[in-house]
Amino acid sequence: MTAATDAEPAPAAAVAAPGRRRRWPWPARIGAGLAVLLVLVALLAPLIAPHDPAAIALTERLQGPSAAHWLGTDHLGRDILSRLMHGATVSLGAVAVILTLIVVLGIGIGGLSGLIGGRVDAVIMRGCDMFLTIPTFVLAMFMVGVLGTGLVNVVLAIALSHWAWYARLVRGLVLTLKEREYVLAARVAGASRLRVFAEHILPGVFAQLVVLLTLDIGHMILHVAGLSFLGLGVTPPTAEWGVMIGDARDFIWTNPLLLVWPGLAILVTVAAFNLLGDALRDALDPTLQAEGDA
């Protein structure tokens, strides 16, 4: 691994090369590597999981790690590794849908607010402020209470309790970007408002949005797991990390490993995406700074 990365061509020759390349620091590589691994596991879980995650075998219950069950079995004799893998599908899948909803809502509402400005902007932003005052987890719990339990409602609740942050960010970025000279140049060249937005404003918004999104993935995973742990989200037969921790509570003194595995899965996933987010922020921020100075 290290030998391969050391053999990469040195970027010294890249004077004034477009899109300057530099090596990622090792936390970023670990984060990116783990994130890719987790996404692969989530996508391929049905193919690579050694056992059916829902197959109950009461004769094999509460076993320790073995060759047949690498991480052992739970109180119903289900294979923990397989359940963790399928849990990744649920957690990351839910997060993917949440992020998509948030991006659509954030860009739609924040973009509108920033572009139109004036009274529309004031009304939308006061609406956002209302959402921002309530802690997201409490808001999400409230929404699940209103909508009812289940994964779909958890996804909706988390998206609806987070969009305001993104709308605010998008609005701020739109306000700065739309005052750029090149936006004015595009306008005087006769480009339509929509084209100006799509070509000159949206890319700049995305660059920043990606950083916040990546940093928030860990946060969202904790929300999904937390709501499921409380019994508000995914219902028990489905393999999900929060549900697994909830199930394992009764065995905390006799089989603490049952709690450790899903806990570790959450920890590793959150850490991986946080490392990746930090790296993206460091990589993208100086570029934007330089662009602002030009």
Residue 199 CB, shortest distance to other proteins, in Å, is: 6
Residue placing its CB nearer to other proteins in the complex, 8 or 181: 181
Kindly state the tokens that stand for 69: 């069950």
Site residues, other proteins (CB under 8 A): 16, 18, 117, 180-182, 184-192, 195, 199-200, 203-204, 291, 294
Residue 129 CB, shortest distance to other proteins, in Å, is: 22
Q: Pseudo-torsion of CA 110, 113, 114, 119, nearest 10°?
A: -160
Cα–Cα distances in angstroms (integers) from residue 214 to residues 219, 270, 284, in the given order: 10, 10, 13
Residue placing its CB nearer to other proteins in the complex, 207 or 271: 207
Residue placing its CB nearer to other proteins in the complex, 120 or 185: 185
Residue 43 CB, shortest distance to other proteins, in Å, is: 31
CA nearest 77: which of 200, 277, 221, 258?
258
Residue 178 CB, shortest distance to other proteins, in Å, is: 10
Q: How many residues does the chain have?
A: 294
Angle at which helices 80-105 and 151-177 cross, to 10°: 40
CB atoms within 10 A of CB 220: 25
Residue placing its CB nearer to other proteins in the complex, 43 or 288: 288
* Cα–Cα distance measured from residue 12 to residue 20, given in angstroms and rounded to the nearest whole number: 10
Residue placing its CB nearer to other proteins in the complex, 191 or 264: 191
Residue 18 CB, shortest distance to other proteins, in Å, is: 6
